[in-house]
Amino acid sequence: MIKLTDKIVNLIPKREFKGGRGERFVHWFGENISTPENRLIIGVTALMTQPFIDLYNKDVDEKTQKVSFARTVGRIIAGTTSGFLVRKGCIKLVEKYSQRTDKPAKAIMKIFTPPKALEGMNFTYKQYQKSMGMLLAIVALIFTNFAFDVPVTNFITNAIMKKIDKKPDKKSGGAK
Amino acid sequence: MNVPRIVKTFANKTYELANKPGKMMLFVGATGWVLSSIAQVTAVVINKQIPDDQKKFLIPQEMSDACVNILSFILFTSKATSFGEGFVKRGKLATPTIKKFIMDNKLAEKVGQKSFDIKGESVFKNNPKFQEEYYKFADGVSFVSSVAGSIISCNIVTPLIRNKIASHFQKASLAREKELNQQKDTVITPQAPGVSAQNKPSVNNYKSATMNMPKGSLKI
């Protein structure tokens, strides 16, 4: 039985990128975008959608809508900041300590160098460095989630709640 | 300094997965969401400025956020990544370099076929220079489709579904709490043997009982 994705791929006609902006964009994306940038993109787009989905959630009361809105903003800002910085930092660390075997360097500078890495294949090697960086970032995130995300999320949530509470309630005609 | 064997093995395994960025992002994403969910539930529990009624919504919201994110990632994002990878590996989406490679190696008839995979061809495996060019394009397409799928799954599908789940839990929790409070407010007195529910002792019952007692029966 042909999978749904196969069926759809079969239906769509061939397309050739003729060296224009489309191809340059795809190449640039593959070479420069990794999980840190992906995390940043998801975070920025999340800030444009998720808080407002929570604010206009008809299944809960008004107070819960506002608290949920404030928490979602705090969570996205804290999570995106730590997620981007930790992932970027770990990738930089791997890039520094994964010198190619054919390059003269101290042993410690090759701690993350895979013995199987083929000579040349620079693009694949760069992708490996990003992948290893991502995996190290998971370990680091165990600590930063509690040490950074939790307090920063609560700080931003409480700050937004204070501002929301200060504003007059429109439904009651301004009376608080 | 000798690098431990486990580090070398781990590095080799990661190198083999280097050109599968979609799978790597799925694994990293899923693990990240679970860790984030645990931390955010902790944040809600320890935040004394959030009232308990709102915590009854926020805690299920955070827990379901991770679960729904992982499911929608598998359903949407990985499918989107598969689309992108499928187009490129079957030659349906190609650059001039890839097209030239296909034409030079007489693979044009196979383009678009379900079983065709450029990476599986022997001419591909024996051509490291073309492999670099191919992966530059294929990984780019994989990332673009993965990011597009992530934006839809994480920022639209997940918030809508997790809010439904969380509001259901909040309502159930508040209803249970209301029922418990009502039970506490009801006076429950221990019943003596032979006393039925209809004849439960009360002030009115006592008054009417004493009024009906024969007068003079109590003598001091």
The pLDDT of A14-30, averaged and rounded, is 72
Average pLDDT, chain A: 81
Average pLDDT over residues A22-33: 75
Q: Flag whether pLDDT at A172 surpasses 50.
A: no
Give residues with Cβ within 8 angstroms of B211, minimum separation 6: none
pLDDT digits (tens, 9 = 90+) for B170-219: 888 888 888 888 887 775 555 555 555 555 555 666 566 666 655 555 54
Give every residue of chain B whose pLDDT is below 70, as ranges: 1-3, 19, 21-22, 187-220
With CB atoms and an 8 Å threshold, state whether A26 touches B150. no
**Residue B188 pLDDT:** 57
Average pLDDT over residues A94-105: 79
- pLDDT of res. B215: 56
B2: distance to nearest CA of chain A, Å? Answer: 8
Nearest by CB to residue A26, choosing from B47, B54, B141, is B141
Q: What is the pLDDT of residue A18?
A: 63
Instruction: Give the per-residue pLDDT at B88.
Output: 87
- Indicate the pLDDT class of residue A72, thresholds 50, 70 and 90: very high
Extended strands (E) in B58-213: 93-94
Question: Over pLDDT 90: what percentage of chain A?
Answer: 34
pLDDT at position A1 is 41
* pLDDT score recorded for residue A147: 92
pLDDT of residue B199: 55
* Residue B1 pLDDT: 57
Q: Are B136 and A28 in contact (CB under 8 A)?
A: no
Distance CA B171, CA B77 (A): 32
Residues A154-165: tens digit of each pLDDT:
999 999 999 988
Residue A45 CA to residue A51 CA, distance in Å, equals 11
Cβ contacts below 8 Å, chain A against chain B, sum to: 233
Q: Which residue from A minimizes the CA distance to B47?
A: A154
DSSP of A156-175, one letter per residue? Answer: HHHHHHHHHHHSPPTTTTT-
Tokens of B11: 């590095």
- At A173 the pLDDT is 46
Q: Is the pLDDT of residue A169 over 60?
A: no
Q: Is A117 left (phi over 0), alpha (psi -120 to 50) or beta?
A: beta
CB B130 within 8 A of CB B102: no
Confidence of residue A38 (pLDDT cuts 50, 70, 90): confident
Least confident of A66-75, A101-110, B68-77, B119-128: A101-110
Residues 88-127 of chain B with CB under 8 A from chain A are: 90-96, 99, 111-112, 114
- Whether the pTM exceeds 0.80: the reply is no
